[in-house]
Amino acid sequence: MGLFSRKSKSDKLYDKYNKLMEKSHKASTTNRKRADELYAEAEAVMKQIENLDES
């Protein structure tokens, strides 16, 4: 990959998924409701990734 290559849409979604999962894990120690919301959002992103992979 070159220095200025762009990330694909699925790569961007994977990054977003990983960030949401990390935030969810951190929030689970203090705010369970917020952690559940972040987890649900991460799952929605994963479904988008799966839909991209299928097409």
In a domain, 3, yes or no: no
Residues with Cβ within 8 Å of 46's Cβ and at least 6 positions away in sequence, in order, are: 17
How far is residue 33's CA from residue 7's CA, in Å, rounded to a whole number?
A: 32
In a domain, 50, yes or no: yes
pLDDT band per the 50, 70, 90 thresholds, residue 12: very high
- Predicted confidence (pLDDT) per residue in 18-44, tens digit: 999 999 999 999 999 999 999 999 999
Show the domain range for 48.
9-54
In a domain, 24, yes or no: yes
Q: How many domains, in total, are found in the chain?
A: 1
Q: Is the pLDDT of residue 2 over 90?
A: no
- CB–CB of 49/17 below 8 Å? yes
In a domain, 14, yes or no: yes
In a domain, 48, yes or no: yes
pLDDT at 34: 96
In a domain, 1, yes or no: no
At residue 4, the 3 state secondary structure works out as coil
Q: Model-level pTM?
A: 0.84
